[in-house]
Amino acid sequence: MNAFQKQIEKLRPLFEKIASNTYVSAIRDGFIAAMPIILFSSVFLMVAYVPNAWGFYWSTTVTNNLMLAYNYSMGLLALFVAGTVAKNLTDAKNLNLPKTNQVNPVSVIIAAEISFIILAALPLKAGSDLTYMGTQGLIAAYLVGLIVPNIYYVCIKNNVTIKLPPQVPQNISQTFKDLIPLTLSVTSFWAVTVAFKTFTGTNLPKWIIQVLSPLFRASDSYLGLALIAGAMAFFWFCGVQGPSIVQPAVVPIMIANTAANLKLYQAGQQASHVLGMNTMDYVMNFGGTGSTFVLAYLMLGLARSKQLKAVGKAAFIPGTFSVNEPVLFGTPIIMNPVFFIPFLLTPMVNIAIFKFFVSTLGMNSVMYTMPWTIPGPIGIPISTGFAPLSFVYVGLILVLDSLIYLPFLRAYDSELLSGEQAKEAELENTVVGENDAVVATTGAATDGVAPEVATQSDGPAPTLTKDTNVLVLCAGGGTSGILAKALNKLAKDRNVPLSAAARAYGQDMNLIKDMDLVILAPQMDSMKDNLKKITDKYGVKMVTTTGRQYIQLTQDGDMALDFVERNVA
């Protein structure tokens, strides 16, 4: 086991570099910013087409009116993503520039969206074909969103701008300062568009889809689906948030497949593309990465050791809603060789069976996109349009997932129980120290700040006397929301001038400038260096947390408040 852990530890720095790469982060964060568009448009889709499952059909007029909201939101998704990716990369580039000479993010968004429209819109005799400004244009949107900020960055850094006398108002000067990089950006993509149409007879987004179509097909194969599901679990097992690495690469495929499934369903055909948006959320990550939905319930009902019984009690409600950090860090699963096989195997089995249900049994695949926090047993039927076989599928994987995890859970539970029985008296006095040791041996992350804070216990905790704003950042906004809610409730009960907010990393990062303290969840440890650049820019204190420590903070309001007070004192 020690040898296995050492090999994983050697790979971890590489995975962290990939996860924290500026361009990967810009794509991921840009997509997060666009998620409300996807969820909003899905509401209208469901109202329009879910009743079909029960034999009710709206009139053509009603359906067309409902689809207006979808067509001008989801139908232009790539256009919006070009802007959000460009904005997030611009924020990262500005960290390397003086505060007095920054890239204007508004101008970058405008330039990116103009450039993408030139790339993606296909002129017709009357109007334009906007097909590739939606889901099929996402990859081209990523390219635009990553290139335009670099053009601006080079121009601003090297002062390739139009300078006006200091007497000219700042807003007018900024307009002329942006003119050269905007012109270069738009002209570059105009030239690319003209060249593509001349030599290929089509535009760049369509050409990209044609070139990558074999990859789209491969991603829907048993092997491709297994690799995607297994990769997410493997990276998480190594301590790096798996979807942050895998998702940016497959999101364009998932979104395009979801839209294609809906068109097939509308045409009276089977929604046959397996890899859709909610396939990752509900099938591969059934209850969270590693498909841990059943694990907390198994601990709650079958565990004999005090540790796993406590984890089960604390984790079964969050785990039901796909917030599985209490299981990952409380058990722990991360870097725990006992759970390596089931943690990787379970999501791969789930997606293979889902593929069988779709490809062999003819079940409709996912055609709607719902929030990832909807429990998987509910989300799978909803996202498949209440396909009758989806209920059978849910029951089957609940049984199979339990059978996969149970032997490994029993083995680990017996190991913990033996230790508890042998050292029960000693454990009562040293449980906190041993828990910290478990986190350390399982590769839990720290930047040297959090452990020092966590072990500080001399003297009474200081009391906050001034308004204090705290931002908690985690991968999806789940556990950070629990911690922020606990802090706000305790602050209100005790009349403490504290206000806490929770966000997914990459979402509303501009909030940081108004914060006094930023708490980074351990699953986003690979992002700590990127975050520190932002907090240093605004003079905000940042602290990281270890796995077990973070879970304790979400469960104990007094400990969380004490943690904040000690760090802002």
Helix, strand, or coil (residue 446): coil
Q: Are 285 and 241 in contact (CB under 8 A)?
A: no
Contacts of 147 (CB under 8 A, 6+ apart): 185, 188
Residue type at 89? Answer: L
Helices (DSSP H) in 238-364: which residue ranges?
242-266, 277-278, 293-302, 306-320, 325-330, 340-359
Q: Say how far apart CA 104 and CA 182 lie, in whole Å.
A: 11
> Kind and range of the H or E element at 498?
strand 498-504
Q: The tokens of 342 are what?
A: 């089931």
Q: What are phi and psi of 417, to 5 degrees?
A: -65, -40
**What is the CB neighbour count within 10 angstroms for residue 136?**
21
Q: The tokens of 249 are what?
A: 């690469």
> Kind and range of the H or E element at 469?
strand 468-474
- Chain-centre distance for alpha carbon 210: 28
Contacts of 95 (CB under 8 A, 6+ apart): 533, 534, 537
Catalytic residues, which ones? Answer: 474
Angle between helices 388-422 and 424-441 (to 10 degrees): 120
Q: Say how far apart CA 470 and CA 380 lie, in whole Å.
A: 35
Smallest Cα–Cα separation from 446: which of 534, 560, 343, 547? 547
> Kind and range of the H or E element at 194?
helix 170-199
Instruction: Spell out where 47-171 has E strands.
Output: 122-123, 128-129
> Kind and range of the H or E element at 30?
helix 22-49
